[in-house]
A and B are shown apart, each in its own frame.
Chain A
Amino acid sequence: MQEPNSAFLWPDAPEADKYSVCVHCGFCLEVCPTYQQLGDENHSPRGRVYLIKQAAEGVLPLDESVVDPVFTCLDCRACETVCPSGVQVGALIEEARGQVFHAAPARGWKGLIQRFFLRAVFPKPRRLKLLAGLLRFYQRSGLQRWVRKLRLLAVLPKHLREMEAILPKVPDRRAIDALPPEIPATGSTDKGVAGLFTGCVMDVFFADVNQATARVAARNGWRVRVPKDQLCCGALQVHAGDRDMARQMARRNIDVFLASGADRIIINAAGCGAALKEYPALFRDDPVYREKAEQFSARVRDISELLVESGFEPPQGEVPRTIAYHDACHLCHAQQVRTQPRTLLGAIPGLCLVEMADSDRCCGSAGIYNLTHPEMAGALLERKMDDLPDGIDGVAMGNPGCMMQLMVGAHRRQADVEILHTVELLDLAYQREEVGTR
């Protein structure tokens, strides 16, 4: 129940049980990227939780004193990994953003763009497809060349120009369209049905990663089904505070995947994976969908998690490269998946895996954070690039947002490092072994 004078007036507010768990010990400070950068308690996890509590209790209004810290949070959850008391900072931040979304919807061009993408594009499969098509047209028709030649991009802020410069070449078809509805298992064992969640950003820019994921799962004994009427997971909506839209999308995904007969729901994007696993939180007050969401979430596995849990065949093909691994926040902090991707990479013959300093510090991508908070995101990217070990050929990771962010970083420094998804390397090793046996 809310305090009588609470600044949180809308349903789904941060719960007292969640913020009162914080005992203010401060262990979270030094792992918080924004606190490391600014040294300001307002931009630390315990500070944010304290402000949320103050707002909930009516001591503070829902003005910029609460809104800025809540939106400057990267939602990277590094604080949750260290918190001895188990404060769900991510959930509190998301719920507080929900209140802000109701109280003061983002205005100006930022708000317009946000609403356009979060409400009008990502939740609509056909529009998403159209967007992918437009981007493809932009890249292939020569328009991109002309735009660059005429320096039309000069009107954009630097971080958007950089983003445009690294935009991966949009593949011909998204995996959701290209893949058959069911891919038979190619391994000797039948482990069951794995429903492939294709996602939005991953499938627009990195459809190859989805293809590789399907191949690798099938190769290891899973019948892979690709439900065609699935939607984007809704993580970006939750992060922006648009919980109603997120719920609409989640309902569809839950129904579609439960009906598909999938024993496991597999995903290769850390942010989406965390969102799927946290669907029950979206439906905490919904008796019907809470239970369904729990059934759904219990089946969700990151692809690396699935392979290590259910067993995978060590690949025989060689990939002689030196690779560093970056821990995507929503994989290591939100899902506690750390060792599995390293196990996969370690099993690839010829691949030399080198650890990098602070591999689990946020790269600054954080959904659309690098668009809404370019300065902080840029500073964090610089630190990430500084931490890349010398002499590596590439960096592997498990999230499309991080991949694009690190591509910007590599572009900025003219660094010759490949930015890869973990599963791409594994897939490559399998493919090379087929060539070898032929």
Chain B
Amino acid sequence: MTSSRANDAHLIEFLTDLFGPSRVLCRPHQLAAYECDGYVAQTGLPRAVVFPETTDEVAQVVRYLHEHEVPFLPRGAGTGLSGGAMPRNGEVVISLVRMNKLLRVDFDNLRAVVQPGHVNLQLTRKISAQGYYYAPDPSSQSVCTIGGNLAENAGGSHCLKYGVTTNHIVAAKVVLPTGDVVDIGAEFGDALGYDLLGLVVGSEGTLGIATEITVKILKKPEAVRTALAMFDTVADAADTVTDIIGAGIIPAAIEMMDQLAMQAVDKSNYHVGYPKDIEAVLLIEVDGMAAGLEDVAAEIVHICHKHNVRTVKVAASDEERALWWSSRKMAFGATGRISPDYIVQDGVIPRTKLSQVMARIQQLSEESGLRIANVFHAGDGNLHPLICYDSRVPGQTELATRVGSEILKACVDAGGSITGEHGVGVEKIEEMRYMFDDTDLAAQAAVRQVFNPADLCNAGKLIPKPARCAEVKHMQRLIEQHAEVFRDLEDQTLTLRS
């Protein structure tokens, strides 16, 4: 790294020549805003931020960085929740927000081609007049980019019926970490050879940078019915979810929030007015052909009643439905109303284990003394416990991190996974060891090695280095703790040399 730091002047010159001064941030004080993404528990300063506008510019800068052994990482809107787009090694951040065009739409064949910085919801907005939409809808869809969705294999409320990002991307132009540009996937039919697109989607920016993305678009469903059901107990709500799906209904979405999450969001601009004495609220949506949908909605209401629902009602207007959805989608951000800091976890469990895992989360909350709000994609068993803490209280950040880790382990023990849609990033990298053994991790690392031989592209994310011995870990920790000293040492070496 010392050698690359020594070349910083050349690097900046190169970047400025390539992009022009207005598209390069490199003075230390311009970089603070890029220290972290939506995950703020760890931060790191990038070396520079650049704003390419074409595939060719991305390829040129990547080729140069590869040749000069400078680490780099791609970044979209920076709404990721696991630290996937935050710099750990003094990276050059390749911001793709200016590559935000909708390149083409083929309505007849249900395809659209976007640049990676295209905002998810904007695609639906642009094609909705013709009656089409883009299905994956992460909560941050009003701001997150499709490139970022590809990197994290983002999910969303409607992935119960429609699937996650990987089910909607069919092809991509990708700049590999060496600077080569490849086309993977196939616009129609299945691509021949290895499923490289499957590998790249969800690779968290470690296998390359997508610069053109071909997605499926869908015809908007003829009709939608949305119900809001309030339950005295989490168990009743959980049983309702299981029963609805057991009845052969495939809802477009089933979302759950617990009392603390309701309180947070009710304090925000997205106030619904939930009763203070219920434990859980379900937001259940069905869509499809208009004929018969009313009956399905009635069946859902009936099932809710079988499980002691306090009140259940179907949205009477688009405004009401929109408010209910905003209330659910803004729940993470609204947690700022009840706590100065929070970590949102992203565990997955088999749906039937919901009550059991909830009890464990409750127990962890009581043991640690940290409040935990819960928001779920209940239909897919994707949990989002929001661990509330105050980073100004010494030790609380570490405590919250530990509680998060324990929750993930409980999910794995229940037969689930440590991430449903947020990615591993830096946040859950240690928990990867809990899920996988060294051989599993080595296989994954070997794949990464093929695409990203020098490990310059988003190093330190997703896969932990296999089987580090205790001493190495200790040293790593020391270096991290005293990073300032090491940086100073480097600077002094530079001064001595010059």
Q: A51-B32, A65-B29 are in contact. List 9 more A-B contacts (CB 8 A).
A: A26-B143, A29-B79, A39-B95, A42-B33, A44-B33, A54-B32, A84-B337, A85-B336, A86-B269
Q: Does B253 contact A (CB under 8 A)?
A: no
Q: B319 to nearest A CB, angstroms? A: 12
Cβ B335 vs Cβ A85 within 8 A: yes
A60 and B341 CA atoms in complex are apart in Å by: 22
Q: A6 to nearest B CB, angstroms? A: 15
CB within 8 Å for A50 and B33 given contacts A21-B336, A30-B119:
yes
Cβ B29 vs Cβ A26 within 8 A: no
Q: Does A22 contact B (CB under 8 A)?
A: yes
Cβ B336 vs Cβ A81 within 8 A: no
Question: Could you tell me which B residues sit within 8 Å of A by CB distance?
Answer: 25, 27, 29-30, 32-38, 40, 51, 77-79, 95, 97-98, 100, 117, 119, 140, 142-144, 265, 267-270, 330-337, 340-342
Cβ B25 vs Cβ A42 within 8 A: yes
Cβ B333 vs Cβ A85 within 8 A: yes
CB within 8 Å for A23 and B142 given contacts A30-B119, A65-B29, A81-B269:
no
A401 and B337 CA atoms in complex are apart in Å by: 34
Q: B333 to nearest A CB, angstroms? A: 3
Name the one of B34, B79, B265, B340 contacting A26, with C-beta atoms under 8 angstroms. Answer: B79
Among B33, B34, B270, the most chain A Cβ lie within 10 Å of the Cβ of B33
CB within 8 Å for A39 and B333 given contacts A26-B38, A30-B143, A47-B33:
no
Q: B376 to nearest A CB, angstroms? A: 18
Q: Which residues of A contact B265 (CB under 8 A)?
A: 84
A50's nearest neighbour on chain B, judged by CB, is B33
Cβ A84 vs Cβ B336 within 8 A: yes
A23's nearest neighbour on chain B, judged by CB, is B336
Q: Does A403 contact B (CB under 8 A)?
A: no
A274 and B29 CA atoms in complex are apart in Å by: 33
Cβ B143 vs Cβ A65 within 8 A: no
Name the one of B32, B79, B340 contacting A60, with C-beta atoms under 8 angstroms. Answer: B32
Cβ B32 vs Cβ A24 within 8 A: no
Q: Which residues of A contact B33 (CB under 8 A)?
A: 40-42, 44, 47, 50-51, 69
A 59-117 contacts with B by CB, 8 A: 59-61, 63-66, 69, 81-87
23 contacts between A and B (CB under 8 A): A21-B337, A23-B332, A23-B333, A24-B38, A24-B40, A26-B77, A26-B144, A27-B79, A28-B143, A30-B142, A39-B98, A39-B117, A40-B51, A47-B33, A59-B32, A65-B29, A69-B33, A84-B270, A84-B334, A86-B268, A86-B269, A86-B336, A87-B336
Q: Which residues of B contact A28 (CB under 8 A)?
A: 143
Q: A63 to nearest B CB, angstroms? A: 7
Among all A-B residue pairs, the 4 with the closest Cβ atoms: A85-B336, A65-B29, A84-B333, A84-B330
A22 and B335 CA atoms in complex are apart in Å by: 10
Q: Which residues of B contact A69 (CB under 8 A)?
A: 33
1/0 per residue, CB under 8 A from B, across A1-28: the answer is: 0000000000000000000111111111
Cβ B51 vs Cβ A27 within 8 A: no
Cβ A23 vs Cβ B32 within 8 A: no
Q: Which residues of B contact A27 (CB under 8 A)?
A: 79, 140, 142-143, 330, 333
A52 and B118 CA atoms in complex are apart in Å by: 29
Q: Which residues of A contact B144 (CB under 8 A)?
A: 26
CB within 8 Å for A25 and B267 given contacts A65-B32, A86-B337:
no
B341's nearest neighbour on chain A, judged by CB, is A23
Q: Which residues of B contact A83 (CB under 8 A)?
A: 269, 333
A81 and B30 CA atoms in complex are apart in Å by: 27
Q: Which residues of A contact B32 (CB under 8 A)?
A: 50-51, 54, 59-60, 65
A 400-423 contacts with B by CB, 8 A: none
A22 and B144 CA atoms in complex are apart in Å by: 18
A23 and B339 CA atoms in complex are apart in Å by: 9
Cβ A39 vs Cβ B79 within 8 A: no
Q: A104 to nearest B CB, angstroms? A: 15
A140 and B41 CA atoms in complex are apart in Å by: 64
Q: B13 to nearest A CB, angstroms? A: 21
Cβ B79 vs Cβ A25 within 8 A: yes
CB within 8 Å for A84 and B268 given contacts A25-B38, A26-B38, A60-B29:
yes
Q: B47 to nearest A CB, angstroms? A: 16
Among A29, A41, A50, the most chain B Cβ lie within 10 Å of the Cβ of A41
A 122-169 contacts with B by CB, 8 A: none
Cβ B267 vs Cβ A86 within 8 A: yes
Cβ A23 vs Cβ B335 within 8 A: yes
Count of A-B contacts with CB under 8 A?
107
Q: Which residues of A contact B34 (CB under 8 A)?
A: 41
Name the one of A40, A54, A59, A61 contacting B25, with C-beta atoms under 8 angstroms. Answer: A40
Q: Which residues of B contact A64 (CB under 8 A)?
A: 29
A40 and B22 CA atoms in complex are apart in Å by: 10
Q: B81 to nearest A CB, angstroms? A: 9
A357's nearest neighbour on chain B, judged by CB, is B125
Among A28, A30, A86, the most chain B Cβ lie within 10 Å of the Cβ of A30
Q: Which residues of A contact B37 (CB under 8 A)?
A: 24, 26
Q: Which residues of A contact B333 (CB under 8 A)?
A: 23, 25, 27, 83-85
Q: Which residues of A contact B119 (CB under 8 A)?
A: 30
Q: Which residues of A contact B36 (CB under 8 A)?
A: 24
Q: Which residues of A contact B331 (CB under 8 A)?
A: 84
A60 and B27 CA atoms in complex are apart in Å by: 12
Q: A40 to nearest B CB, angstroms? A: 7
Q: Which residues of B contact A54 (CB under 8 A)?
A: 32
CB within 8 Å for A29 and B269 given contacts A39-B98, A65-B30, A83-B333:
no
Cβ A20 vs Cβ B95 within 8 A: no
Name the one of B51, B140, B142, B334 contacting A39, with C-beta atoms under 8 angstroms. Answer: B51
Q: A86 to nearest B CB, angstroms? A: 6
A85's nearest neighbour on chain B, judged by CB, is B336
Q: Which residues of B contact A65 (CB under 8 A)?
A: 27, 29-30, 32
B97's nearest neighbour on chain A, judged by CB, is A39
Q: A22 to nearest B CB, angstroms? A: 7
A21 and B268 CA atoms in complex are apart in Å by: 12
Q: Which residues of B contact A23 (CB under 8 A)?
A: 40, 332-333, 335-336, 341-342
Q: Which residues of B contact A30 (CB under 8 A)?
A: 77, 119, 142-143
Cβ A41 vs Cβ B78 within 8 A: yes
Among B40, B77, B144, B331, the most chain A Cβ lie within 10 Å of the Cβ of B77
A 36-58 contacts with B by CB, 8 A: 39-42, 44, 47, 50-51, 54
A39 and B117 CA atoms in complex are apart in Å by: 10
A24 and B140 CA atoms in complex are apart in Å by: 12
A26 and B27 CA atoms in complex are apart in Å by: 23
A29 and B140 CA atoms in complex are apart in Å by: 11
Q: Which residues of A contact B25 (CB under 8 A)?
A: 40, 42
Q: A386 to nearest B CB, angstroms? A: 15
A142 and B282 CA atoms in complex are apart in Å by: 71
CB within 8 Å for A63 and B29 given contacts A26-B77, A39-B95:
yes
Q: B337 to nearest A CB, angstroms? A: 6
Cβ A20 vs Cβ B27 within 8 A: no
Q: A48 to nearest B CB, angstroms? A: 8
Q: Which residues of A contact B334 (CB under 8 A)?
A: 84-85
Cβ A25 vs Cβ B140 within 8 A: yes
Q: Which residues of B contact A61 (CB under 8 A)?
A: 29
Q: Which residues of B contact A39 (CB under 8 A)?
A: 51, 95, 97-98, 100, 117
CB within 8 Å for A84 and B332 given contacts A23-B341, A39-B98:
yes
Q: Which residues of B contact A40 (CB under 8 A)?
A: 25, 33, 51
Q: Which residues of A contact B268 (CB under 8 A)?
A: 84-86
A64 and B30 CA atoms in complex are apart in Å by: 9
